[in-house]
Amino acid sequence: MKAFFIERYKDTGRIGHLPPPEVGDDEVLIQVYAASINVLDSKIRSGEFKLILPYTFPLVLGNDLAGVVVRVGAGVRRFKAGDEVYGRVHETRIGTFAELACAKEDALALKPVNVDMVQAASLPLVSLTAWQVLVQTAKLEKGQKVLIHAGSGGVGTIAIQLAKHLGAFVATTTSTRNVEWVKALGADLVIDYTQQHFETLLHDYDVVLNSLGSDVLAKSLKVLKPGGQLISISGPPTPQFAREQGLSWVLRQAMGLLSHGIRSKARKHAINYSFVFMRASGSQLHEITALIESGVIKPVVDRTFALESAAEALAYVDKGRAKGKVVISVIP
């Protein structure tokens, strides 16, 4: 099969032919029509997660997909050949930048009927991230106030829509050129970070979703009220995360040190800090599908690239200028 893969960390990557993935009893083989690019892909390529996720090479990149089921394992009951599906594959089973990919049954859901393959592929990782932060972790309620950083990004565009559906007042940060655009997504208040300081304008918020660096993370404490929640998807990871991942004692200690500063500052302000590392979930994606089909959540696709241009697509995402998601179209 044709695939985009790396042969070592920090490799640019190339297109080549590799054997198709083997299908386990609880897995589904999928003909990939489209796969979206996430910041996670670049972090994996650079080796940022090599202590947590020890991959072998050659490594096909890609976490999201939409496509058609080719074959199912002996234990699979929910899907059959010919089904149109989408999903975020498990972190140990990445490899969607290819003509064929394998995913565990519990990572998949039937594709929403009202979106095409490219739009469907743009949704799994970012919509699951938004769900696991706002619904599962924050338990966001009607009338609460939430600040979503980087509102024009992949996670931000979906999180704004989901938070509004949950009945929250939504503030977000973005650059000048995207202010009106994120307002159209549903944001109630937009902070232009090139001209304004969010930490001086916002007060008494219940939740902050952070996807940016440590400087923004620390400033975000100032906008939260006592009892508020600072939830980061960009780190630093916590000892609790390390325990949940089953990591070694050494890594648990290391992550404790990495997050000690922000956890201590949060405690002083009576704020809860947590780190969310999105996990694959077909059941949650099924709930999200209902929101997509009802029009509550709309996919936001910035650009589409051919599989042969995957390296160019990754470079474009790395610039941080995309509005919404960038998608690789494997089958036009």
CB-neighbour burial class of residue 136 (10 A; exposed 0-12, middle 13-18, buried 19+): middle
Over residues 39-67, the pLDDT tens digits come to 999 999 999 988 888 899 999 999 999 99
Other beta carbons within 10 Å of 11 = 15
Q: Pairing between strand 301-306 and 325-329?
A: parallel
Helix (H, G, I), strand (E, B) or coil at 244: helix
CB-neighbour burial class of residue 323 (10 A; exposed 0-12, middle 13-18, buried 19+): buried
pTM score, whole prediction: 0.96
Is it true that domain 126-275 has CATH number 1.20.970.10? no
pLDDT along the chain (332 residues), means of 10: 97 96 97 96 92 91 98 98 98 96 98 98 98 98 98 97 98 96 97 96 98 94 98 92 86 90 95 96 98 98 98 95 96 90
Query: Mean pLDDT of all residues in the chain?
Result: 96
Over residues 170-192, the pLDDT tens digits come to 999 999 999 999 999 999 999 99
Domain boundaries, the chain: 2-123+299-329, 126-275
Amino acid (1-letter code) at residue 186: G
The conformational region for residue 54 under phi > 0 = left, psi -120 to 50 = alpha, else beta, is beta
What does the pLDDT read at residue 242?
87
Is it true that domain 2-123+299-329 has CATH number 1.20.1420.30? no
